[in-house]
Amino acid sequence: MKFVRAVWKLMVGIKDGLVLIFMLLFFGLLYAGLSNRPAAIGSGVLDLNLKGNVVEQPDRAQWSDVAGAPSVRNYALHDLIAALDAAKDDGRVKAVALDLDSFAGGGQTAMIDVADAVRRVRATGKPVIAYATGYTDDSYQVAAAASEIWLNPLGAVLIAGPGGSNLYFKGLLDKLGVTANVYRVGTYKSAVEPYIRNDMSPEAKQNYQALGDAELSTWRAAVLRSRPKANVGLFLKDMNGAVAAAGGDTATAALNAGLVDKIGDRMAYEAHLAKLGGDGGKESAFKRIKYSAYVADSDQEARNAPIGVITIAGMIVDGKAGPGTAGSDTIARQIADAVNDGVKAIVLRVDSPGGSVTASERIRQSLLAAKARNIPVVVSMGNVAASGGYWVSTPADYIYAEPSTITGSIGVFGVIPSFQGALQKLGIGADGIKTTPLSGEPDLLKGPSPEVSQLIQTSIESTYRRFLAIVAQSRHKSVAQVDAIAQGRVWDGGTAHQLGLVDGFGGMSEAIAKAAELAKLGNSRGIHYYEPPRSLEDALLGAFSGGSDDRDGTSEDAFAVLAGRPEQQLAAAFGEVQAIMSGPTIQARCIECAAALPAPPLKRDLGFAGLVWSFLSRSA
The catalytic site residues sit at 189, 387
Q: Are 377 and 367 in contact (CB under 8 A)?
A: yes
Burial of 110 (0-12, 13-18, 19+ CB in 10 A): buried
Cα(370)–Cα(518) distance, rounded to whole angstroms? 14
**Cis ω before 442 (30° cut-off from 0):** yes
Residue 146 is classified by DSSP as S
Helix (H, G, I), strand (E, B) or coil at 376: coil
DSSP assignment string, 457-509: HHHHHHHHHHHHHHHHHHHT--HHHHHHH-TT-EEEHHHHHHHTSSSEE--HH
Cα(7)–Cα(312) distance, rounded to whole angstroms? 53
DSSP assignment string, 46-98: EEEE--EEEESS-----HHHHTT----EEEEHHHHHHHHHHHHT-TTEEEEEE
Cα(382)–Cα(401) distance, rounded to whole angstroms? 7
Q: H or E element: which one contains 347? A: strand 345-352
Q: Are 568 and 599 in contact (CB under 8 A)?
A: yes
Q: Are 326 and 55 in contact (CB under 8 A)?
A: no
The identity of residue 13, as a single letter, is G
DSSP assignment string, 578-592: HHHHHS-SSEEE-GG
Burial of 106 (0-12, 13-18, 19+ CB in 10 A): buried
Q: Which of 243, 49, 155 is nearest to 555 (CA)?
A: 155
Within 10 angstroms of residue 456's Cβ, the number of other Cβ atoms is 20
